[in-house]
Amino acid sequence: MSYYASHMAITRSAKKAHRQSLVKKGYNEALKKNLREALKGVREAKAGDTKAEAMAFKAIDKAAKKGLIKKNTADRRKALVARMLKTK
């Protein structure tokens, strides 16, 4: 929160909007971390590992649903995951 201290909101509604943005930032960071860890699990997995593939697909779909990544990006990443686990 110290990052925002020099540009602190003045009105009550602006303060509330700032608080809400910090909460959303926390959710987005958690989603990003989950997505990164799922993709890392795929890179370390063996060929045909359906559990790693399912976890990655779930993380990618959630990120797309929440607006963290766009639908086409999600589709590309899912194709990449499938390709990675197929060819290892």
Contact assessment for residue 41 and residue 81, using Cβ atoms and an 8 Å cutoff? no
pLDDT band at 8 (very low <50, low <70, confident <90, very high): confident
Q: Give me the domains of the chain, ranges plus CATH numbers.
A: 10-87 (1.20.58.110)
Q: What is the pLDDT of residues 43-80, one digit of tens each?
A: 999 988 899 999 999 999 999 999 999 999 999 999 99
The amino acid at 70: K
Task: Confirm if 57 and 78 have CB atoms less than 8 A apart.
Answer: yes
pTM of the complete model: 0.80
Tokens of residue 55, six digits? 């976890």
The average confidence (pLDDT) of the chain is 91
